[in-house]
Structure 1
Amino acid sequence: MRELSKLTILEILQEWNYWNREFETYVQRPAYSSILERYRRSDEIIVLTGIRRSGKSTLLKQEMEHLAKSRDKKELLYINFEDPRLSEDADPDTLDLLLETYREAINPDGEVFLFLDEVQYVDRWEKWVRTAHDLKRATIYITGSSSKLLSGEVASSISGRYLQVTVYPLRFLEFLSFNDLEYRNIADYSAKRREIHQLFSDYLRYGGFPKVVLVDEDLKKEEILSYFNTILLHDILARYGLRNYDMLKKLVEYILTNDTKQNSVHSISKALGYNYATVSDYIAYLKATYMIAEFRNYDYSLKKQLRSDVKYYCIDTGFVNAVSFLFSENIGRLYENIVYNEFIRRGQGTGLFYLNEGGKGGVECDFITQEMGRITAAYQVCYELHDRNMNREVAGIVMACKKFGLPGGTIITEHQQKTIEVDGLRIEVVPIPAFLVGYGPTTPPKERGLQYRL
């Protein structure tokens, strides 16, 4: 960090902290608040990771506000390393100086709750954090926008000392809350069906980044594009020392335009005319920033799983729509992307696969879920079931159910709701907004409403 006097440092800290002012009012995200409440009792470092602008900083501030109900505000120290005055050449000496200045001027003797926001900008931060934690100099919270924040040496440096929370853009249930629609349980779905489906259209188009949800309609796309370009320029090009922005952008656009389709590094490099190693590196960087995730075909053999083609899903459909057009032909894959993200946000990512038997042109089931080593459910996703795709979509579910001994599966569409019985299997067809609010085959029959049989 460039030379700053303690007086200047104190002025910067005063700008960011709440020692003499009120906390801002933010929409609550109860699922994350509940996790933080549990982790708070652990006496471990609490780490929030996730894509830029997913709400990590807001959750930190809400945690600070909660602590301030029982602690002196001056015991809370928030440091934002996206502030260029603090992040330039920051290292462990920077952290020492910041804490020393705070101790001398604000809180000489009390406990310290230290909030380090976007800590990846501090060189060798992990060793300082480990020492501060071990010596009980502070109760520490940190955030970062890279999945590599806790990889390799970093993870081993603070191993056994931290609990991690991955923060995602809003689930649809949270999106309803941000739009002032109260949703308590599945009984509300029938009563508020029209409003829920109307809001789903916005969720499909603009995604779930918290600020995007709250800004005016005419600013939403500009906000999304700002995030998109900042991630490419700041979190990838600058961080990894790359120079060719156009090349990276073209790769991202290709992946997002072809998301939910089977792909490989080889097929992408061939399609774009890029070097194989370059494509492999760029995809790794996109995954590290949480922009895309990799999704694999299920096989009993882990070796075959790892060798199979993959699908790439985007963290937020707002990004997909920002680089491609929203039209009827791609709404089905947007639905598929949203369903994938919902499974991930429910914590089911480690047991989620697609199932393709027969390779290209073979029968495919979009999602199968695995728990405790056993396949538990099968799902298909499409915009609409009709005469031209009925056999294909049903065949994918039937194939998965018979392979794994399941009594039935689920097909998720735009608005259809019925029950299909095929070969002794029960297939529930549910609207995608209903699935996202918890309506589905796990819902007790009396709560499912009318059913139809073909």
Structure 2
Amino acid sequence: MDREKILKALIDWNFWYKEQFTGYPRNYSKQVLDIMKSGFVADVIGVKRSGKSTIFNQVISHLIKEEKISPFLTLLINFEDSRFAEIDNADKLFSLLHIYREETGINGKPYIFLDEVQKVKGWEGFVRSLIDRKEAYVAVSGSTSIINKGKVREVLAGRHISVEVLPLSFSEYLEFKGVQIGREMDLLAREEEIKKLFLEFLKFGGFPAVVNSKIKDKILLNLYDDIITKDVITQCKIRQEVKLRELSLFYVSNVGNRISFRKISRSLNIPLSTVERFTSCLLDSMLIYFVPPLSPSLKEMVKGEKKVYSVDQGLSNVVGYKLNESLGSLLENAVYLELRRRYGGDSIFYYHGKNEVDFIIKINNEVRYAYQVTFTLNDEREIKGLKELEKKAGKKRVEKFIITFDDEEKEIDEIRVMKAWKWMIHFISESL
């Protein structure tokens, strides 16, 4: 191991001798620190460039500035830096830790952050050793969800808690734009500006690097290619690159639509087993998400057609193929991501009977909320689906909502019509 090269890389990434970029504060940093201090591993997962590294820097900055710990009691290793390429297994991680302890002379329990840790084989054993012996507080991050699946889950069973990082919410987007909304009067005073920014948010999404850029399209295209190349093709060792790219483009171009692997296999001329394998890799990269149908039968939920959504509506808008810009689909994708932030992906379903309901939220195994999404309320589809679902629910009370871009806020037969741009910045209570 090249000791000098490693030390220089550590100096470049850590707060030991200089400030590091911390960006705009995000709530994730408190979650990560709380988990670490509780003695668990915080495994931070999220698509590439969603802000995981910056969140680690925010945690470290807080520890140094607010809790007054020595900068040398924090250690961040970013495995995307080629200088760490030789740290490719757990034994070498232990060697690096020895170098860190020896050179810094630390006396205390350090906070250790391993960024893009999936590049190191056997890292989970290294982390378990530190946690079991209470030698360090630990957080890890990865751009693929495999860092909390399979063998990792077995090795770290009962020792880790996941934090999913998504691109910016609309509330965060406004903060990045310098728009502060503290009360409803602020909202009314800047309504036209906020609606204009919301349209921009729908079209270009919430990746931090995109928000204030003048080359949004180019950044999104480059980011998409980076995800496909590094986190899908390389990670999954895919040889049929062209077919993989065709499948990925199909998904990001069809957000909000129901999909069938068999139909995709026929239309794209890709074997069914290959569609299933490639799809699994795309899901692991967190580029796309699936929403299952709501059904009392687990078998039907697993085998039923799922609806597909993108990790960022801007990515779908810029990358996906389309004849006309579909603001309705982009709005539906944005609402899905907001629901995922609020309730978690495992709580979200859709309903399909004679009519359809875009999103169903289950809490403690009970249907609690139902959402229809439409850019403009101009037909009865939204109401019919919600009414049908209500009959299926029987005596159970389901709170029902129609989310539109800017329709008049009102109530129709106990269904609340809500403006998306207000709902997303939490200026409307969801309690009837």
Using the TM superposition, give the Cα deviation of residue 184 of structure 1 relative to its aligned residue in structure 2, in angstroms: 2.8
Give the letter aligned to residue 12 of structure 1: A
Q: Which residue of 2 aligns with 1:393?
A: 382
Q: Which residue of 1 aligns with 2:417?
A: 429
Inter-partner Cα distance in structure 2 for 1:210 and 1:440 = 26
Q: Identity over the aligned pairs, expressed in percent?
A: 32
Q: Which residue of 2 aligns with 1:102?
A: 100
Q: Which moved more, 1:242-251 or 1:72-81?
A: 242-251
Using the TM superposition, give the Cα deviation of residue 293 of structure 1 relative to its aligned residue in structure 2, in angstroms: 0.6
Give the letter aligned to residue 426 of structure 1: E
Instruction: Look up the SS of the partner of 2:414 in the other structure.
Output: strand
Using the TM superposition, give the Cα deviation of residue 25 of structure 1 relative to its aligned residue in structure 2, in angstroms: 4.3
Inter-partner Cα distance in structure 1 for 2:238 and 2:210 = 29
Q: Which residue of 2 aligns with 1:125?
A: 123
Inter-partner Cα distance in structure 1 for 2:100 and 2:426 = 47
Inter-partner Cα distance in structure 2 for 1:75 and 1:407 = 50
Q: Which residue of 1 aligns with 2:426?
A: 438
Using the TM superposition, give the Cα deviation of residue 14 of structure 1 relative to its aligned residue in structure 2, in angstroms: 1.4
Alignment map for 1:178-193 (pairs within 5 Å)? 178-185=176-183, 188-193=186-191
Q: How many residues align?
A: 428
Q: Structure 1 residue 306 and structure 2 residue 297: aligned?
A: no
Using the TM superposition, give the Cα deviation of residue 416 of structure 1 relative to its aligned residue in structure 2, in angstroms: 0.5
Inter-partner Cα distance in structure 2 for 1:24 and 1:291 = 25
Alignment map for 1:316-331 (pairs within 5 Å)? 316-324=312-320, 330-331=326-327
Cα deviations by residue, 1:412-447 (Å, 9 ceiling, x for unpaired): 1221014353xxx22222222122122446267xxx
Q: Which residue of 2 aligns with 1:412?
A: 403
Contact 2:36 2:139 in 1 (8 A): no
Q: Structure 1 residue 274 and structure 2 residue 274: aligned?
A: no
Using the TM superposition, give the Cα deviation of residue 24 of structure 1 relative to its aligned residue in structure 2, in angstroms: 2.7
Using the TM superposition, give the Cα deviation of residue 385 of structure 1 relative to its aligned residue in structure 2, in angstroms: 2.0
Q: Which residue of 2 aligns with 1:447?
A: none
Using the TM superposition, give the Cα deviation of residue 272 of structure 1 relative to its aligned residue in structure 2, in angstroms: 0.5
Q: Which residue of 2 aligns with 1:28?
A: 25
Inter-partner Cα distance in structure 1 for 2:251 and 2:240 = 17
Alpha carbons of structure 1 residues 82 and 408: separation in structure 2 relative to 1, 3 Å = closer
Inter-partner Cα distance in structure 1 for 2:62 and 2:317 = 37
Choose which of 311, 315, 319 in structure 2 pairs with 1:315.
311
Using the TM superposition, give the Cα deviation of residue 401 of structure 1 relative to its aligned residue in structure 2, in angstroms: 2.3
Contact 1:369 1:378 in 2 (8 A): yes
Alpha carbons of structure 1 residues 72 and 396: separation in structure 2 relative to 1, 3 Å = same
Q: Which residue of 2 aligns with 1:379?
A: 371
Q: Which residue of 1 aligns with 2:360?
A: 368
Give the letter aligned to residue 248 of structure 1: L
Contact 2:75 2:112 in 1 (8 A): yes
Q: Which residue of 2 aligns with 1:344?
A: 340
Cα deviations by residue, 1:243-293 (Å, 9 ceiling, x for unpaired): 232211111111122221111111111110110011101110111011111
Alpha carbons of structure 1 residues 439 and 68: separation in structure 2 relative to 1, 3 Å = closer
Give the letter aligned to residue 200 of structure 1: F
Q: Which residue of 1 aligns with 2:255?
A: 259
Q: Which residue of 2 aligns with 1:10?
A: 7
Using the TM superposition, give the Cα deviation of residue 39 of structure 1 relative to its aligned residue in structure 2, in angstroms: 2.0
Q: Which residue of 2 aligns with 1:230?
A: 226
Inter-partner Cα distance in structure 2 for 1:286 and 1:25 = 29
Alpha carbons of structure 1 residues 367 and 440: separation in structure 2 relative to 1, 3 Å = farther
Alpha carbons of structure 1 residues 82 and 37: separation in structure 2 relative to 1, 3 Å = closer
Inter-partner Cα distance in structure 2 for 1:348 and 1:224 = 25
Using the TM superposition, give the Cα deviation of residue 373 of structure 1 relative to its aligned residue in structure 2, in angstroms: 2.1
Inter-partner Cα distance in structure 1 for 2:426 and 2:59 = 28
Name structure 2 gaps, 5 residues minimum: none
Contact 2:115 2:142 in 1 (8 A): yes
Cα deviations by residue, 1:329-358 (Å, 9 ceiling, x for unpaired): 62111111111111001124322211110x
Alpha carbons of structure 1 residues 108 and 39: separation in structure 2 relative to 1, 3 Å = closer
Contact 1:410 1:441 in 2 (8 A): no
Alpha carbons of structure 1 residues 327 and 436: separation in structure 2 relative to 1, 3 Å = farther
Cα deviations by residue, 1:41-77 (Å, 9 ceiling, x for unpaired): 3022222111111111101011111111211111111
Contact 2:255 2:329 in 1 (8 A): yes
Q: Structure 1 residue 78 and structure 2 residue 76: aligned?
A: yes
Give the letter aligned to residue 23 of structure 1: Q
Give the letter aligned to residue 366 of structure 2: R
Inter-partner Cα distance in structure 2 for 1:304 and 1:187 = 48
Using the TM superposition, give the Cα deviation of residue 232 of structure 1 relative to its aligned residue in structure 2, in angstroms: 0.8
Contact 1:77 1:115 in 2 (8 A): yes
Contact 2:73 2:111 in 1 (8 A): yes
Alpha carbons of structure 1 residues 233 and 407: separation in structure 2 relative to 1, 3 Å = closer
Inter-partner Cα distance in structure 1 for 2:363 and 2:185 = 28
Contact 1:89 1:123 in 2 (8 A): no
Instruction: Look up the SS of the partner of 2:43 in the other structure.
Output: strand
Instruction: Look up the SS of the partner of 1:311 in the other structure.
Output: strand
TM-score normalized by the length of structure 2: 0.94
Q: Which residue of 1 aligns with 2:392?
A: 403
Cα deviations by residue, 1:79-99 (Å, 9 ceiling, x for unpaired): 111112212461112212211
Alpha carbons of structure 1 residues 271 and 440: separation in structure 2 relative to 1, 3 Å = farther
Q: Which moved more, 1:238-247 or 1:163-172?
A: 238-247
Alignment map for 1:171-210 (pairs within 5 Å)? 171-185=169-183, 188-210=186-208
Inter-partner Cα distance in structure 2 for 1:346 and 1:436 = 10
Instruction: Look up the SS of the partner of 1:415 in the other structure.
Output: coil
Inter-partner Cα distance in structure 2 for 1:317 and 1:263 = 18
Inter-partner Cα distance in structure 2 for 1:145 and 1:308 = 28
